[in-house]
């Protein structure tokens, strides 16, 4: 199922980040797409899945909030995203 693939790739994403590296949810989605995960059945699934793994990482002291960054995807219209730092 899509969610299981997403979680497995999320583990790969966070384990491949260097200590103190900064990232945002958009970075996570772009990583997933480059890894070949198919589009979810609903576009909001990206945000929901990202929010879930990010919340788990925050709760388990894997990452911490580190300000905000601007979206690079043109369709996001320069939206501000929370930025995180790998601990």
Question: pLDDT digits over 32-66, tens only?
Answer: 999 999 999 898 888 899 999 999 999 999 999 99
Q: Which pTM does this prediction carry?
A: 0.85
CA distance 61 to 2: 26
Residue range 1-5: average pLDDT? 91
- Residue 75: pLDDT band (50, 70, 90) is low
Query: Using one digit for the tens of pLDDT, what is the confidence trace for 17-41?
Result: 999 999 988 889 889 999 999 999 8
Listed residue (4, 37, 80) closest to 28, CA to CA = 37
Number of neighbours of residue 11 by Cβ within 10 angstroms = 11
Structure token pair of residue 71: 């979206």
Predicted local distance difference test score (pLDDT) of residue 43: 84
Query: Does 76 have pLDDT greater than 70?
Result: no
Predicted local distance difference test score (pLDDT) of residue 79: 76
């Amino acid at each position: 199922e899509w969610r299981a693939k997403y979680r497995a790739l999320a583990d790969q994403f966070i384990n491949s980040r260097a200590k103190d590296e900064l990232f945002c949810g958009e970075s996570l989605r772009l990583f997933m797409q480059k890894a070949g995960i198919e589009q979810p059945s609903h576009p909001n699934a990206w945000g929901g899945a990202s929010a879930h793994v990010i919340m788990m990482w925050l709760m388990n002291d894997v990452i911490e909030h580190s300000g905000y960054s601007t979206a690079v995807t043109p369709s996001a219209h320069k939206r501000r995203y929370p930025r995180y730092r790998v601990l």
